[in-house]
Structure 1
Amino acid sequence: MYQASTVSSRSPAGSTHLRGAESNETQAVRLTNREKEFLQWSEIGKSSWEIARIVDCSEANVNYHFNNIRRKFGVSSRHLAGKIAREQGLI
């Protein structure tokens, strides 16, 4: 009986989580022009430091934008974010 109540208490939370994940996948990711620019530089192998020098901003600013990009795509690397952005025709 205890086990049944544990299962039922997990089911709604699990299904809500799945619905949330599905809605994130179906929502179109929108990138700012700056985020697109930084991803394009990253795609050709430029580091945060190099991108900062090219666009005349701080390295912290570049990393801030990459954090936002990774969050928007739900990934942990800028390279994976770049791959997804290319696949979706964003860059």
Structure 2
Amino acid sequence: MDKSVFLYVRGGDYSAMLFDQNFNAQEIYEDMIRNGESSRTIDGEDYMDIDIVEFEKVDTRFMKWIKNNLCGYDQLKGSDIFEVKPVFIKKK
């Protein structure tokens, strides 16, 4: 089954914007998966809560439309989703 996977980032006023500027979403996601995490908090200079969220396959055009038409800059700078490529862990 195809699925869409996102990191949902939220925190202070500029948390999502700073996450996008300072971190690689795919690398954070893969590290979280390796560590068995579904949530993570980054509590440094900038506070961020990060959750992995999964859905059945979501059309990329639809996601862009949602962000462009239903979300404003003020909302997206503080909380946003970042699409990542699903990683599957092989059981030993």
TM-score category of the 2 structures, normalised to the smaller one: under 0.3
TM-score between the two structures when normalised by the length of structure 2: 0.27
TM-score between the two structures when normalised by the length of structure 1: 0.27
Q: Which has the larger radius of gyration?
A: 1
Which structure features the higher share of helix residues?
1
